[in-house]
Amino acid sequence: MTERGAGALWRDRHTLRIGPSQVRWDGQTLVIDIEEHGAVLPLNVRGQVRVTPMVYGQRRFRLDPGGRHVWEPLAPCSRVEANFTDPAIRWSGTGYLDANHGAESLEDGFADWQWSRAHLKDGSTAVMYEGQLADGSDFGMALRITPDGQAEVMEMPAPVVLPKTAWRLDRLTRADPGYTARLRATWEDTPFYSRTALATRLWGEDVVAVHESLNMKRFATGAVQWMLPWRMPRKV
């Protein structure tokens, strides 16, 4: 990912282009063409990711009472294909696509959040989303999104505290009572964000979940803002 100025942006109904990279919808598949440079080492990152929805979400959700922040599970279950030339990587599997949008920046609206999703045997997707707003109030929901895209509100499973990350970021997830979720892998570990693979149990079913922790208070600190360009190049 590269931060760029307004002159690098172009869009129409089906395409969003930022610099040499773009996201386009061809009617069935979201095609993501990537041509970037890595950081800290400026190595080429070139390839394509194709996201083909198998389930379309039918609802969007307000995350705060005033509706300033909205979350939408666009394609809770998708077929994903990744094909990169730099580096040479190919992968395919089951994925997920959602969107957050709102009337203010995330750091103005949230203190933190914990999110996870897991695909169930019947084709449904389990999604847990909870956290604290910037004013100190809590939000949270547990959803079972069925193969027809309907979101069924479920009772929130029991909380499970996960080990802190290497940056000492708190991680919390949910699992059936009496079950302790365990870490399978930590894919992303930064001062304010982590992404993790978990083995857990939800509503009587053993699942592999993708989990993220986000701390916007940390994100807004001067030290983290100073470090960001080292991980995300900026071209104005």
**CATH number of the domain where residue 210 is located:** 2.40.370
In the chain the first and final C-alpha atoms are separated, in Å, by 14
**47 within some domain:** no
**42 within some domain:** no
Provide the pLDDT confidence category of residue 127 given band limits of 50, 70 and 90: very high
The tally of domains found in the chain comes to 1
Tell me the HSE value of 180 on the side-chain side, using a 13 A CA sphere: 4
Q: Which of 162, 123, 160 is nearest to 144 (CA)?
A: 123
**217 within some domain:** yes
- How far, in Å, CA of 184 to CA of 79, rounded? 22
pLDDT at 236: 61
- How far, in Å, CA of 96 to CA of 72, rounded? 12
**200 within some domain:** yes
- How far, in Å, CA of 170 to CA of 193, rounded? 10
pLDDT at 42: 84
**95 within some domain:** no
**213 within some domain:** yes
Residues 39-59: pLDDT tens digits? 888 899 999 999 999 999 999
pTM of the model: 0.92
Residues 161-211: pLDDT tens digits? 999 999 999 999 999 999 999 999 999 999 999 999 999 999 999 999 999
**152 within some domain:** yes
> Which domain, by its residues, includes 174?
105-229
Tokens of 136: 């100190």
Is residue 200 within 8 Å of residue 164, measured between CB atoms? no
pLDDT at 234: 79
**176 within some domain:** yes
